[in-house]
Amino acid sequence: MNERDVVAQQIVSRIAEENYPKTSAGITHQESGFRKLVPALLQKGVENVDLSMFSEELRATVLNILGDEYLRRGNLHGAAKSYILAGNRLRLTSVGLDFEKIGLFDNAIEAFKMGGDDKNLVRLGTKCMEDGRFANSTKAFRAVNSPELLRKLGQECMDKGKLDYAFEIFTALSDNEKLNALGTRCFDEGQYGYAMKAFQMTQNYERLNQVGEACMRNGLLRAALESYTLANNSMMVEFIRENFKQAVVM
């Protein structure tokens, strides 16, 4: 375990002690018995513990006990696994908030997603978008299945020059208008590879021909050949192959 992980675990342990204090109130005799077995079960790992012989209620009880103990030991990943298996959405939200506190946004989003917490997904996704964490924001907005938020994020990515993210988002949305706008911007900036990708997705053959022409003017014969091929412009494809064979050989 590296130094960063050790520090993170210490922080999580303190958070857990504040939010999940040990208590003996309301613990049944059966639960008390399972708590004595917790160290052995933790050593085995929650994913390897076989509880199939118990009732659904008892399985959930044991898994929640393990999740609480994982938290006290600063192991958010183990806690999340336990609460997922127990179907404890409320605890998953708490774990997600703890992940967020230590900057593990991807894990926080996954916990909120498994807990069905759309409110926190939108909140954290928006925060990540504002902070330029576009991959995290994309994951959060996809989890809530919000085309509106994804479209807003895609525009933000395009405005900030994060073209890969913008292309991924607009493609997932099948938003041809935005893809054409992205392609046009890339074309105007001389980023012909991105322009081709965008116009290919929208089957915009007119713009693909324009990309091919621009590539020809700039001596980018391979790119021109690719663009004309995508545009189904057999005449220009033949012209390049017959007259610039050596230049376009891969």
> How would you write the pLDDT of the chain (250 residues) with one tens digit per residue?
556 555 444 554 454 445 444 444 444 445 555 667 777 777 788 788 888 888 888 888 888 888 888 888 888 888 888 888 888 999 999 999 999 999 999 999 999 999 999 999 999 999 999 999 999 999 999 999 999 999 999 999 999 999 999 999 999 999 999 999 999 999 999 999 999 999 999 999 999 999 999 999 999 999 999 999 999 999 999 999 988 887 766 5
User: pLDDT digits over 7-57, tens only?
Assistant: 444 554 454 445 444 444 444 445 555 667 777 777 788 788 888 888 888
Show the DSSP H helices in the chain as ranges.
3-19, 29-44, 56-72, 76-86, 89-101, 105-114, 118-130, 134-143, 147-159, 163-172, 176-188, 192-201, 205-217, 221-230, 234-243, 245-248
| Owner of token pair 């996704």 | 125
Query: Cα–Cα distance between 20 and 175 in angstroms, integer?
Result: 46
C-alpha triplet 28, 33, 34: angle, nearest 5°: 100
* pLDDT number for residue 51: 82
Q: State the pTM of this model.
A: 0.73
Query: Cα–Cα distance between 117 and 112 in angstroms, integer?
Result: 5
Cα separations in angstroms, 222 against 10, 125, 172: 55, 40, 28
Kindly give, in sequence order, each residue whose CB lies less than 8 Å from that of residue 61, ignoring residues fewer than 6 positions away. Answer: 30, 31, 34
Query: Cα–Cα distance between 38 and 157 in angstroms, integer?
Result: 47
Six-digit token pair at 168?
Answer: 């991924």
- CA nearest neighbour of 135 among 165, 93, 160: 165
Six-digit token pair at 83?
Answer: 């609460």
Residue-wise over 1-22: b if at least 16 C-beta within 10 A, else e?
eeeeeeebbeebeebbeeebee
State whether residue 189 is helix, strand or coil: coil
Query: Cα–Cα distance between 115 and 202 in angstroms, integer?
Result: 37
Six-digit token pair at 196?
Answer: 């081709």
**Helices 56-72 and 89-101 sit at what angle, rounded to 10 degrees?**
20
Query: Cα–Cα distance between 206 and 175 in angstroms, integer?
Result: 18
Residue 120 near residue 96, CB atoms below 8 Å: yes
Calculate Rg over the CA atoms of the chain: 27
* pLDDT number for residue 43: 77
